[in-house]
Structure 1
């Protein structure tokens, strides 16, 4: 309305200074005023339109500012997620490294060591009583890693680790039946059955031992003991590496 008043004052001024204004007829003055009023109305419409544009521009600027703030927030969130992802990746790499180490210590990555043998590689055999009480298992079923020596009956640990051993013995009632598993000349576990009225006896045992590379494990008879074997594999000796250490 202030703009409209300004224009009305301007119109009055123009009316007062219009040359020979007083000499015009009433019709001329009316037409002139009508034209000025129309001109002012058009100016007011344009001003209103300009005001709408300004309001629209301010609203757009507000939306742009909100968008910029949202983008800044999202950027900060992405940076946070990237840092978290880096931490997860670091832990994942550490876990994968641990898994690789475990694979090296067990499974395909670990030394493959295992053997199994029985006393008789042909016919029938009675072993004992004798002064050399070490049992030599001649019929070798497997010897992966070549830790077992079929000439001496001794298993020598190729690497440090935990090893599993098992053995079985069979004999008749005329003698003590059984054997002792030895580690570096020290008794570990055994089977034993004294002479009885029954016809025959059999027994078995097993153990997990911690061995250093070069340690020896083998089987010995008891004093005055005897065992029997044939191709049925009654008296046996087996072992394998559980995992290296």
Structure 2
């Protein structure tokens, strides 16, 4: 503002020291003064415009500085996000490798073992009472891993692990109906029904057994018991590996 006032005073001084000013006897002084006032007014307006432009430039500079600061902040934030993204990508790659490794190990070390069978594959049979009480399930529905022997009725564990077994029996009321799940000649769980007036009985049971490779599991008749089966599959024996140990 001081610069503008100084400029205005300088211009005014130049106006009043115009050469020949004192020799203009024929000039109308009022007209001359009006022209000079008009000129001064124009100069004042121009000075105001200059001040306004200056203020606008200063405001623009402030906004520009604010924009630069914001861009700098956003750039720093983007760099931070970029580093975090790289860290997440590294962790993701490591997780994918670990999953692939676990999957590969699972495919290599976890055998697929499962079987399911019923007592007869043709006709019908009444089994028992008898001295050889091991039930041989001849009709094999599935035998993944070939751990079940359809000639002996015995399942032999191929690997150490936790196994699930289930069995069901059906019989008529002429004899006791029952069977026992046996592991290495040791009884585990059983089913039992004494003769009743309803004509027939059925039952089932299951167990989860921890087996070592080579352990044998089978189903045998209850003492003096009898079971029945035909192609409807009333008397069955099934099992599978839950997971290896």
- TM-score when scaled to structure 2? 0.71
| Correspondence 1:22-171 to 2 at 5 A | 22-27=22-27, 40-79=40-79, 111-171=111-171
> Unaligned regions of 5+ residues in structure 2, if any?
none
RMSD: 4.1
Aligned position for 2:189: 189
Mark the CA change 1:98 to 1:159 in structure 2 (over 3 Å): closer, same or farther: farther
CA distances 1:137-162 after superposition (whole Å, capped 9, x unpaired): 11112223322110121123345544
Q: Which residue of 1 aligns with 2:12?
A: 8
Report the alpha carbon displacement of residue 25 of structure 1 after superposing the two structures with TM: 2.5
Structure 2 partner of 1:209 = 209
**Bigger CA drift: 132-141 or 163-172?**
163-172
Instruction: Give the deviation of 1:180 after TM superposition.
Output: 1.1
CA–CA distance in structure 1, aligned partners of residues 105 and 116 of structure 2: 22
Residue 230 of structure 2 corresponds to residue 230 of structure 1:
yes
Instruction: Give CA deviations for 1:205-228 in whole Å, capped at 9, x if unaligned.
Output: 122333444432211223443333
Gaps of 5+ in 1: none
Corresponding residue pairs, total: 238
C-alpha separation in 2, matches of 1:22 and 1:49: 34
Deviation string 1:8-65 (CA, Å, 9 cap, x unpaired) is 33444x34xx3x6644424187777666655554444433322222111111111112
**Partner secondary structure for residue 27 of structure 2:** helix
Higher mean displacement: 149-158 or 78-87: 78-87
Could you tell me whether the CA contact under 8 Å between 1:166 and 1:237 is conserved in 2?
A: yes
How many Å separate the matches in 1 of 2:120 and 2:12? 132
